[in-house]
Amino acid sequence: MAAILANLNQFISAIAGFLTPLALFHVSWSTLLGIIIGALPGLTATMGVALVTTLTYKLPPDLAILILICVYNGAIYGGSRSAILLNIPGTPANAATTLDGFPLARAGRAGKAMGIATSGSVLGSLIGMFFLATVAPLLGNYALKFQSFEFFWLAIFGIVISGHLTALEDPMKGWIAGFLGLLVAMVGQEGIHAYERFTYGTTDLLGGFALIPAMVGAFGFAEVMSVMRSPAPEVVQEARDSIIPKLGEVFRYWRTIIRSGLIGTIIGIIPGVGEDIAAWVSYAAARRKSPERDRFGKGSVEGLMAAETGNNACVPGAIIPALTLAIPGSAPAAVLLAAMFIHGVRPGPMVMVESPEFVYQVVAMVFFSTLGMLIYGLTLTKPLLWVLAVPRTRLMPVVFVLCAIGSYAITQRTFDIWVMIGFGIFGYILREMKYPMAPMVLGIIMGDILDKNLRRGLILTDGDLTPFFTRPISLVLWLVTVSSILLSIEPVRRGAQRAAQALRPWRPRAGTETR
Amino acid sequence: MTLRPGAGSDGNPPPSHLPPYDRSEKTADMVKADFLTGLVLILLSLFVVFESWRMPRLEHLKVHPLSVPGLVPAFLGIVIFVLAVILVVRSVLAGGHRLGLSNEVLRRLRVEPGNRRLLVTAVLTIGYAGFLVGSIPYWLATGLFVFAFIVIFERRRGMTRREYVRLGLVAAILGAATSAVVTWAFQSMFLVTLP
């Protein structure tokens, strides 16, 4: 009880700390910018956070991170607007939103759909925030037990699980993307003997590829090319009905809201999976449990609520491992993590020892971004319609100008513009060939962790591999990793399904399965 | 569990089947792309393993042999090699090695409007960021880039002279405004020495 009160006290202090005109000003513009970035097809949350990182590196750390979290949370919500009005998800996280959001808009209920999306996003974000405040300290304390063996497996586990879940159709492409990311991280001076790997005498590569220019390229430049290649979007639906949701209608789906919030948070905690998968899994779970499952895909309020609750709950969820393990739960969280390092904040297992107040500051930041989202969500209708009407031929060159100068600005090296271009082309090609980006981003972040911890572990045991497989946490991590790989092999999966059915004491009635 | 895996930035609901290949035309292209990607990845992984092998063992520093710099890159190279071989074998079994590249296919790729837009975008963006920035004043490079991008993509066949003038004016205003705001913000607010 005393611990809960102490946590609550820290949270209230953090809230009070941000109740200054300057902080509130930053919350107001950055949440709005996030919503606009999210709403514009072609501008994703990852790109938004990466670009805004380049604009905030001169600010004090707490304000800079506040701005980035507002952009991140706002963008995931903002994407629902174009999903509903254009049938194009503003960010990949809103793909599930199109299934019911657009049919509602076409039926003349765009206002209602936007209101439901706002309610779902706000409630999802609050559920995620609750778990951020309660789980992060626990995980932070638990993470203190992690040694090299566990961190090695955590890196492999993250790549394999992220690769699997972000490319369910073809997990191998997810794994290839992840291992390529790890390989990218090998470039530059290594952390144990300071040997320069794959630099070939170039001083620019001594520190490896900087994450922000790489992310701006892979998510910004690649997206510019992708948007310009695709045909122009068509009709923007108008909202003639009220955008203010009825409370009774929202809370009628309280089970869906809580379930989706939990799913979103848990998917967020899994390294490198992210908001799009959170939305799809929440949507699938809601459809399976719903008595109105026939309405799903035809304008179901519950389906829309599930998708939007799930993706926004994932945002605080993805911040949990970023804060406590320095391992991001999603691609935008990876950029956020990089931004924290740029600002001298050192997340990781020591965060609860060195600066526990920072965790609660982050919870407060999520709270303020949620508040901003609610206010803009219920008031901004027409201005966002105008934003959506801006032709891509006028928006994309401006976006690219920011990609170029943003990559350059952090270290003021022209080399970083080339890094942005290189990763943009690389990212575009991989994306066109259905390689997911999230495992690659995770790989770039985890490369250093994998490298140092595998070698340190081997030195500690003098080459004995036993502790890598027998320490309790390592055991769980490698078992899950190997199971994930085995279950992606078709005959093994079929065999496992048959075995599970044989062991099941009862069989589902015909027609109750909702595949 | 009914997942909609791999929903990408295009937002289209992905197909529900789980095996990697079906029989559609789009998938046939993907099989070929996988074959080529697999070959590139095999070459890359062999290069990485070779380079890792060449990295010093630092015996003169008496370092532990399992802490040598090449250990982890070699491990990653081997994993990527295995995955790439599976990718190639899988693609060959689905007929991906029969690339069927003919002049007609290449011509169709060249004239496809999306590919043309992509090519023009790549030329403009790389030309601007890679070559123009740093060669001429930043504000001028940025203004010219935005102007050219808008004019090239918005001009249509059969536009009247008046429409051309209007388009040029809009592009010039947007180019000048973008250039002025970005130059001012980065130079004066963020104290960046522009390239």
Residues B117, B179, single domain; the answer is yes
Six-digit token pair at A207?
């520190």
Q: From CA B179, how far away is CA B138, in angstroms rounded?
A: 8
Residues B180, B127, single domain; the answer is yes
Which of residues 225 through 284 in chain A touch B, CB cutoff 8 A?
225-226, 228-231, 276-277, 280-281, 283-284
Residues B115, B182, single domain; the answer is yes
Q: For the segment A217-231, what is each residue's pLDDT rounded down to a tens digit?
A: 988 899 899 989 988
* B139 in a structural domain: yes
Q: What is the pLDDT of residue B155?
A: 92
Q: What is the pLDDT of residue B17?
A: 38
Burial class (CB in 10 A: 0-12, 13-18, 19+), A194: exposed
* B6 in a structural domain: no
Residues B144, B171, single domain; the answer is yes
Q: Which of B46, B78, B100 is the last residue of a domain?
A: B100
* Mean pLDDT, rounded, for B142-148: 97
Q: Which residues of A touch B84 (CB under 8 A)?
A: 176
- Mean of the per-residue pLDDT values for chain B? 85
Task: Name the minimum distance, in Å, from the CA of A228 to any CA of chain B.
Answer: 6
Q: Which residues of A touch B11 (CB under 8 A)?
A: 83, 87-89, 92, 94-95, 98
Provide φ and ψ at A257, rounded to 5°: -65, -50
Residues B133, B66, single domain; the answer is no
Q: From CA B46, how far away is CA B28, in angstroms rounded?
A: 27
Q: From CA B195, how far away is CA A417, in angstroms rounded?
A: 10
Closest CA to A300 of A74, A308, A122: A308
Q: For the segment A357-369, what is each residue's pLDDT rounded down to a tens digit?
A: 899 999 999 999 9
Closest CB to A225 among B20, B48, B118: B118
* B46 in a structural domain: yes
How many helices and strands, by DSSP H and E, does chain B display?
A: 6, 0
- Cross-strand pairs, B136: B133
Residues B61, B130, single domain; the answer is no
Which of residues 155 through 194 in chain A touch B, CB cutoff 8 A?
166-170, 172, 175-176, 179-180, 182-183, 186, 190, 192-193
Query: Does the beta carbon of B56 lie under 8 angstroms from any beta carbon of chain A?
Result: yes
Q: What is the pLDDT of residue A353?
A: 84
Run of H or E residues at B142: helix B138-154
Which range has the top average pLDDT, A439-443, B1-5, B98-102? A439-443
- Domain total of chain B: 2
- Cross-strand pairs, A196: A189
* B4 in a structural domain: no
Q: Measured between alpha carbons, how far is residue A272 from residues A253, A276, A309, A439, B114 in Å?
A: 29, 11, 19, 6, 31
User: Is the CB of residue A71 less than 8 Å from the CB of residue A77?
Assistant: no
Residues B49, B116, single domain; the answer is no
Q: Which of B44, B72, B100 is the last residue of a domain?
A: B100
Q: What is the pLDDT of residue B15?
A: 41
Q: What is the pLDDT of residue A234?
A: 63
Q: Which residues of A touch B124 (CB under 8 A)?
A: 397
Count CB pairs under 8 A between chains A and B: 217
- B10 has pLDDT over 50: no
Q: From CA B54, how far away is CA A196, in angstroms rounded?
A: 13
Q: Which of B37, B68, B100 is the last residue of a domain?
A: B100
b/e map A120-145, b = 16+ CB within 10 Å = bbbbbbbbbbbbbbebbbebbeebee
Q: From CA A46, how far away is CA A445, in angstroms rounded?
A: 14
Q: What is the pLDDT of residue B99?
A: 80
* B10 in a structural domain: no
Supply the ipTM of this predicted assembly. Answer: 0.86
Q: From CA A158, how far away is CA A394, in angstroms rounded?
A: 39
Low-confidence residues in chain A, pLDDT < 70: 1, 233-239, 504-515
Q: Which residue has the higher pLDDT, B133 or A354?
A: B133
- Cross-strand pairs, A188: A197
Residues B84, B127, single domain; the answer is no
Cα end-to-end distance, chain A, whole Å: 44
Q: What is the pLDDT of residue A167?
A: 86
> Which residue range is the domain that position B56 belongs to?
25-100
Residues B154, B176, single domain; the answer is yes
Q: What is the pLDDT of residue B4?
A: 39
